[in-house]
Amino acid sequence: MKRSLDENDLTVVSVFVNPTQFAPHEDLASYPRTLPADLAALSSIQGPRSPSLVFAPTVSEMYPSSFGTGSDTGTFVDVGPLGQLMEGASRPAFFRGVATVVTKLFNIIQPSHTYFGQKDIQQALLLRRMVDDLRFAYPTAETLHIVPSARESSTGLALSSRNAYLTDTERSYAPTLINALREGEKLWLAGETKGAVMHVMGTLVEQAQDRSKKDGVEMRLDYIEMNDPWTFNPIQASDTRSSLRDGQTDVVILSGALWVGKTRLIDNILLGDINKIIF
């Protein structure tokens, strides 16, 4: 939002909890809905520009046929096999819901530029591909921007609505994922193979799990993986930074998902020429 305010005369902020990207067993009912606090934060912005409009539709307005029940009575956007990889392997309904609601937002607002956070890197890359594949006039792939994740300065924890679920004790273990990813980044940049990087990161998470149990916190690793940002396929265990560069793969997504108590946290680091993605 701050990036948009810096670069555009008019900024529209959308606030909507999208029911179609939640599976039946997920946390739609309890997901944080903090519109009054969001509006207060927007009103407090100091600077030459402030948001021009907050778009906070109801579910029935966004889903006039299906009313957001997840039924197939309405029209949906399917991103295809890419939506079944990485995050999609754990959340198979997620990207269909995301693509559908964002298509609706783009059709309603018709933004010249849009801004998405790196924390949801696969989502942002899929949307960039979607607007190109479907030949959107507004935005285009070139004007769908991905900006670095916002983080807590002291811990590095990526900011997320779901962080509100964490207890004080759980919060002390929440940076486990980013700490492991950062260690993996160091090893990858030092020339280690993916296999070696994965082993060290897995060990760090296991050690944190052992410590957390003593404090009554259950942690469960969903996945840590290294993927090509264009195909989302995992790179090979024998791959190194130099071998991929020789093969013209100049960016790798190092990402993971970790359960801390009942809260699922995701995060990622981009390895390589990030300017091909972050712009």
User: What is the tens place of the pLDDT at every residue in 229-242?
Assistant: 999 999 999 999 99
Greater pLDDT, 70 or 49: 49
Q: How confident is the model at residue 148 (pLDDT cuts 50, 70, 90)?
A: very high
Q: What is the pTM of this model?
A: 0.93
In degrees, rounded to 5, the angle at the alpha carbon of residue 228 between the alpha carbons of residues 226 and 229 is: 110
| Nearest residue to 180 (alpha-carbon basis) of 212, 160, 203 | 203
pLDDT score of 246 more than 70: no
Q: Across residues 18-22, what is the average pLDDT?
A: 92
pLDDT at 138: 97
Q: Across residues 237-264, what is the average pLDDT?
A: 90
> In the chain, what percentage of residues exceed pLDDT 90?
89
| Nearest residue to 57 (alpha-carbon basis) of 108, 117, 123 | 108
Report how far residue 177's alpha carbon sits from residue 155's, in angstroms, rounded to the nearest whole number.
Answer: 11
Query: Do 94 and 18 contact (CB within 8 A), yes or no?
Result: no
Q: What residue ranges in the chain does DSSP mark as E strands?
A: 12-14, 53-55, 114-117, 144-147, 219-227, 251-260, 263-272
Q: Within 13 Å and on the Cβ side, how many CA atoms surround 174? A: 26
Residue 258 backbone dihedrals phi, psi, to 5 degrees: -135, 130
CB-based contacts of 62: which residues, under 8 Å, 6+ apart?
16, 18, 68, 101, 104
Query: Do 273 and 251 contact (CB within 8 A), yes or no?
Result: yes
pLDDT at 71: 59
- Of 82-96, 99-113, 176-190, 234-248, least confident by mean pLDDT is 234-248
Q: Across residues 191-204, what is the average pLDDT?
A: 98
pLDDT at 74: 84
> In the chain, what percentage of residues exceed pLDDT 70?
97
Please count the other Cβ atoms lying within 10 Å of the Cβ belonging to residue 114. Answer: 23
pLDDT at 109: 97
Q: Across residues 176-180, what is the average pLDDT?
A: 98
Report how far residue 59's alpha carbon sits from residue 39's, in angstroms, rounded to the nearest whole number.
Answer: 19
Mean pLDDT of the chain: 94
pLDDT score of 70 more than 70: no
Q: How confident is the model at residue 250 (pLDDT cuts 50, 70, 90)?
A: confident
